[in-house]
Amino acid sequence: MVNKPHIVLITTDQMRGDLMGCAGNTLIQTPHIDYLARSGVRFDQAYSLTPVCIPARATIMTGLEGHRLGLTTYKEGFALPTSITLPKLLSDAGYETRVVGKMHVYPERCHYGFDSMLLCEEGRMLGAGSGKQRGYDDYEQWVADQGYPGQAFGHGIANNEYAMSPWHLPDSLHPTEWIADNSCRTIKRRDWTRALFLWASFTAPHPPLTPLMRDLYMYEKDDMPQPVCGDWVDRHSLYHQRMDATYQGKLKTPKQIDSAYRGFYASITQVDRAINRIIGTLREEGILENTWFLFTSDHGDNMGDHGLWFKANFTRGACQIPLIVTPPAKRDTGSILESGWVPGQVNHSPVGLQDILPTCLAIAGLPVPDDLDGTSLLGAVRQPKTDRVRETVLGEFGPIGKRSFMVTDGIWKYIWFEEESEELLFYIEDDPQELHDRSRDPLAPLEEWRNRLAFKLGTRLSDPAVSDGVLRPRQLVPELTEFERAHLISHYNPRGLH
């Protein structure tokens, strides 16, 4: 007899928080993600505080932010510095713990507490992060078994590239379909005597943008949104200048931008259908009514906003993510939630990926370790209109000397660049697209937000970005040369046949 609730964590990769119908996007088709929001609580101020794959996923696994992990940038080969992980804590409490899809942890086959892992790593050769060749992930081996060896990347679109092409193999061989199929099989093959923790970790909509034609057809007659451009882009920080040069933001044609948007939208709609298959499998197995869902993404994507593509910065598109917590459809009076609880609400407190681990522990009825950076979101789920998880969150990305920082309370957002002390201040409550920089407005609370960041950094043992309570930049030349820009262009990690 299972006396604990099942937990299904569903993540996408590189999905912005505004690419859902429930977030007010009237064009994108996400009816099943919207169902989770209508049945639970959506957090509209959810952030990835180190918004790139490896550190973001390490935060999900450990409940620790990038600074505590010693990981504030993209670092292949990085092994988690702790054995206290989400799957290990749940496994020790009797849960069956399984993951299907992308992990992006190192060593890649290290289970970190999972009973089983089926990996789909977006074309990354296993072992490459440590200078070794250990073959291909489970998905690529399976594609070979189906009679298409070496052809998973035959579409010719590279990882991190913003070109788009429809999927080139039979629909059933698409990585999103593989992750959905194996997530459903995992549910059906579970140990009936234990509660299940399943992490269904979709690789979409992270490039390569190779959606199914059936999903592209859905947007065939639609005009795609256009990237927005703020009044501050003529003074991009050095970091933003590097992003623009690497991903060639200024060189993209309207056709290329339109194509990329269609690829993102169609890929998310495909994931949305896959989520409904997982919900349906739980229903047919008779355990949907005892299952909690958490839905989120590791980070977003700028998608051309303010001339920027990719992630790894603190404009809205890159760092603001979807986060939905959905309790079981039917609840006993004595359950975690009180009778009379109303679903479909929105909480406005700033939250982040560091809160996933403690929330899962609280759902399982387990104690939350004191030394985590995250906090359980169950209080906010119980009382979404009144509970405030925290006052602010701190984002940090980059190596020391070249970092960007963000502090936000969900109403104001302050961004500071360590290299040359460029700064941005947005009143996001009235300006959610971050079109108007208020850092030069004499009536804006700029000094207050500078002090908030300086205070947070000053609580650390030693951070070179702050001295005597004041932010200290490196004060480099604030503009790249044409030579530097030309040598930053990325080749996007192409894959061929093998």
Which residues lie across from 466 on neighbouring strands? 471
* Per-residue model confidence (pLDDT) at position 150: 93
Please state the domain count of the chain: 1
CATH of the domain at 225: 3.40.720.10
Options 32, 67, 104, 306, the catalytic residue: 104
Name which residue leads in pLDDT, 123 or 167: 167
Is the pLDDT reported for residue 492 higher than 80?
no
Q: Is residue 474 part of a domain?
A: no
**Average confidence (pLDDT) over 192-202:** 97
pLDDT in tens, 399-447: 999 999 999 999 999 999 999 889 999 999 999 999 999 999 999 999 9
Rounded to an integer, what distance in angstroms lies between the CA atom of residue 318 and that of residue 301? 4
Question: What is the band of 335 on the pLDDT scale with cuts at 50, 70, 90?
Answer: low
For residues 284-310, average pLDDT: 97
Mean of pLDDT values over 281-302: 97
* CA atoms of 59 and 323, how far apart (whole Å): 15
C-alpha span between 446 and 430 (Å, rounded):
17
| DSSP string over 381-410 | HHSTTT--S-S-EEEEESSTTS-EEEEE-S
Task: Give 329's contacts (C-beta < 8 A, 6+ positions apart).
Answer: 39, 288, 289
pLDDT at residue 239, rounded to an integer: 83
- Structure confidence by residue, pLDDT tens digits, 231-256: 999 988 888 988 888 887 778 999 99
Residue 333: per-residue pLDDT: 39
Which pLDDT does position 1 carry in this prediction?
A: 56
What is the model's pLDDT at position 89? 98
* Residue 471: inside a domain: no
Q: Is residue 441 part of a domain?
A: no
436 has catalytic annotation:
no
pLDDT, mean over the chain: 94
The whole-number average pLDDT for the span 161-190 is 98
Catalytic residue among 6, 22, 32, 53: 53
Per-residue CA distances from 144 to 173, 312, 498 (Å): 10, 34, 10
Q: State the burial class of residue 2 (Cβ atoms within 10 Å of its Cβ: 0-12, 13-18, 19+).
A: middle
Tell me the whole-structure pTM to 2 decimals.
0.96
Determine the pLDDT at residue 59.
98
* pLDDT bucket at 66, cuts 50 / 70 / 90: very high
Host H or E run for residue 186: helix 175-188
Q: What is the pLDDT of residue 243?
A: 86
Question: Is 462 contained in some domain?
Answer: no
Please identify which residue in the block is written with the tokens 């209508």: 38
Residue with more model confidence, 427 or 124: 427
CA–CA distance, 415 with 408 (Å, rounded to integer): 9
Q: Is the pLDDT of residue 374 over 80?
A: yes
Residue entry with tokens 């009180």: 338
User: Per the domain annotation, does 243 fall within a domain?
Assistant: yes
In a domain, 161, yes or no: yes
pLDDT band at 372 (very low <50, low <70, confident <90, very high): very high
Contact 348, 410 (CB under 8 A): yes
> Of 120, 116, 30, 132, which is closest to residue 77 (Cα–Cα)?
132
> Domain range for residue 371?
6-390
Q: What number of residues does the chain have? A: 498
Backbone φ and ψ of 344, nearest 5°: 80, 25
pLDDT at 334: 45
- Calculate ∠ Cα 48-263-102, nearest 5°: 45
What pLDDT sits at residue 488? 74
| Those residues with Cβ within 8 angstroms of residue 467's Cβ, 6 or more apart along the chain or in another chain | none
Question: Would 122 be classed as within a structural domain?
Answer: yes
Tell me the sheet residues that pair with 325: 41, 294
Is 32 in the active site? no
Sign of CA dihedral 420, 426, 432, 435: negative
* Structural domain contains residue 405: no
Cβ neighbour number for residue 417 with a 10 Å cutoff: 24
- pLDDT at residue 331 in the model: 61
Say what the pLDDT of residue 337 is.
Answer: 78
